[in-house]
Amino acid sequence: MYKQEDHNSFQFEEVNHEISQLIEHYISESKNGNTQVLKQQSPEKIAEKLEVEKHFKKGFNSVTSIKDFISKYLENTNHLRSPRYMGHQVAVPQDLSGIPDWIHGTVNNPSSLYEMGPAGATLEAFMMNWMLSKLGWFKGDNLQDFTLHKDSGSGVLTHGGSIANLTALSAARAAIAPEAWTEGSPKDLVVMGPSTAHYSIARAISIMGMGKNAFVPVPVDENEVLITSALESVYQEQLKKGKRVMAVVANACATSTGLFDNLDDVANFCEKHSLWYHVDGAHGAVALLSEKDKERVGGIERADSLIWDAHKMMRVSALCTAVLYKNYTSQVNTFQQKGSYVFHEGDVIGMDSMPFTVECTKSALGFKLYWSFALEGEKAISDFISNSFQQAKELYNYLRERSDFHCPYKPESNILCFQYQPEIFSDEQQLNLRYRLIETGDFYITSCEVQEKRYLRTVLMNPLTQKKDFIALAERIKTIATSIIKSAVK
């Protein structure tokens, strides 16, 4: 028999007070750059420090032991608020970003069913209206108008861009082959897209039972931007093989280089052949919000479906992604499957997103997304995006002034790839430079291959990162490179 009084229990206020203090300290130390950005160590070591097994079996025996555990947990995390975090496409959240996660974790109201999470579902619907309005796909009177309008777009939030791509491609399939839901995928369907499309596209196609080979790569240029003039010949080749193109995918922007495909060109092509147009805007759809940068996504509003991650560039903690459709019927047709216990017909209060998502139960994702705006106001997020894009330009300008760095392109987003002395340092050595750099714990950058050449890669989205950090980064890379050369000579 389970009785609460037989087990540990803690005072709500006391524990929350202690944890708030630890988090506040964590935030200020991270922002001041007083901590290492990351600390690479084995999971065995982390498990030992956290006394994982002991707490698991016995439970925490006091508030002090909780505090001690959380303190060690925080010590063993990556410090994204450090100005020298320039790593993965994972948001640097606002200081108070954790409140919705905390509240959701406490009240546990999944928002996929309105009756189960009314406040979360309302915020999601509001944010969907707002995103649709940015694309010109919202036809309501005001953003708090939740009725469905003729010719209106629609959208749902999902747990991440990979699931979002799967959702949007399922909608594309439902449009061309509605029978696929019951009969399985017809063998003649293919999806065209940049050869460097994010791997979640190929995964989605495989998961949908079409086989990975149903992805038909369209050539990209040396910086991984789609060569739109190649679309027609690739398409004609598919027609000759007896294939039907289910969707054409464009990148906004490429995961590797952060450069944008020409969305208008792809739209023209899709319109000419009446093809479903899907924009993977997981990272770069946010350009829509920046007056200075929105020309990069000109034509995005001509897509049939779009995915847009909030946990990359909108300061929202992972995960939170929008799948948006120009026409709401696409969403309605995506999953032609009903669960009688959840999907009501007729008049019920509110709106359910469950029929339109892969997930059944879903976190209060709308709360997280809404919160990020409500904390500072809409303009702050737009300014943040323009600023992040500008930071990449500043790093580019600085590295170009130096003769020891090579930048292959001018950045269009907040992602920048570069190499250190490519005439001396091989691809393998570029990779080694990055490992040696992150081993120091002082900087977090990533690395990627662009058309089979290895690059160092930065993603700039910390408003505290300044030119002095770029200089320190470049100098540190140089120091590591010099020591590599010296040890090779010995």
Ligand X SMILES: Cc1ncc(COP(=O)(O)O)c(C=O)c1O
Nearest by Cα to 215 from 264, 296, 278:
278
Q: How far is the CB of 288 from ligand X (least distance, A)?
A: 15
Sign of CA dihedral 218, 222, 226, 227: negative
Between the alpha carbon of residue 17 and those of residues 12, 21, 134, 223, 371, the distances in Å are 8, 6, 40, 50, 22
With a CB cutoff of 8 Å and minimum separation 6, the contacts of 243 are 188, 189, 190, 216
Of 280, 293, 304, 352, the one binding ligand X (CB under 6 A) is 280
- Would you count residue 228 as binding ligand X (CB under 6 A)? no
Indicate if the alpha-carbon torsion angle 392, 393, 397, 400 is positive or negative: positive
Alpha carbon distances (Å) from 329 to 153, 177, 457: 8, 15, 40
Give the binding range for ligand X (CB under 6 A) out of 161-169, 291-299, 374-382, 481-489: 161-169
Closest CA to 115 of 332, 464, 353, 425: 353
Candidate list 98, 140, 160, 422; residue touching ligand X; CB under 6 A: 160
Of 101 and 280, the one with the shorter C-beta distance to ligand X is 280
Residue 428 to residue 432: CA distance in whole angstroms: 6
> Cβ of residue 225: shortest distance to ligand X, in angstroms?
13
Q: How far is the CB of 385 from ligand X (least distance, A)?
A: 16
Residues 72-91 that bind ligand X (CB under 6 A): 89
Q: Which is nearer to ligand X, 121 or 164 (CB)?
A: 164
283 binds ligand X (CB under 6 A): yes
Q: What is the nearest approach in angstroms of ligand X to the Cβ of residue 196?
A: 10
**Binding piece for ligand X, criterion CB under 6 A, among 158-166, 348-356, 408-416, 433-441:** 158-166
Residue entry with tokens 């030119």: 467
Q: Look at residues 27, 89, 119 and name the one whose alpha carbon lies nearest to residue 312.
A: 89
Residue 246 engages ligand X in binding (rule: CB under 6 A): no
Cα–Cα distance for residue pair 196/171, rounded to 1 Å: 22
Q: Which stretch binds ligand X (CB under 6 A): 171-179, 182-190, 222-230, 278-286?
A: 278-286
> Long-range contacts made by residues 9-18, C-beta under 8 angstroms, separation at least 24?
10/60, 10/63, 10/66, 11/63, 14/63, 15/63, 15/66, 18/63, 18/66, 18/67, 18/70
The residues near 234 (Cβ < 8 Å, ≥ 6 apart) are 192, 216, 218, 219
Q: Per CB under 6 A, which region of 9-17, 19-27, 59-67, 279-287 contacts ligand X?
A: 279-287
* Residue listed under structure tokens 């007070």: 17
CB nearer to ligand X: give 71 or 97: 97
Query: Using the rule CB under 6 A, which residue among 100, 117, 161, 194 binds ligand X?
Result: 161
Cβ-contact 127, 144 below 8 angstroms: no
Of 156-164, 339-347, 389-397, 455-463, which segment contacts ligand X by CB under 6 A?
Answer: 156-164
Under the binding rule (CB under 6 A), the answer on residue 422 touching ligand X is no
Phi, psi dihedrals of residue 52, rounded to the nearest 5°: -60, -50
Question: Would you count residue 196 as binding ligand X (CB under 6 A)?
Answer: no
Instruction: Please give the residue whose beta carbon sits closest to ligand X in the complex.
Output: 161
The answer to whether residue 170 forms part of the interface with ligand X (CB under 6 A) is no
Q: By CB under 6 A, tell whether 296 contacts ligand X.
A: no
Q: How far is the CB of 7 from ligand X (least distance, A)?
A: 37
Q: Measured from the CB of residue 158, what is the shortest distance to ligand X in angstroms?
A: 9
**357 near ligand X, rule: CB under 6 A:** no
Work out which of 94, 112, 154, 200 binds ligand X, going by CB under 6 A.
200
Residue 101 or 309: which CB sits closer to ligand X? 309
Cβ distance to ligand X smaller for residue 30 or 257: 257
Which is nearer to ligand X, 115 or 221 (by Cβ)? 221
261 binds ligand X (CB under 6 A): no
Q: Which of residues 304-323 bind ligand X (CB under 6 A)?
A: 309, 319, 321
Residue 242 has phi, psi (to 5 degrees) of 80, 20
Contacting positions for ligand X (CB under 6 A): 89, 160-162, 165, 198, 200, 251, 255, 280, 282-283, 309, 319, 321
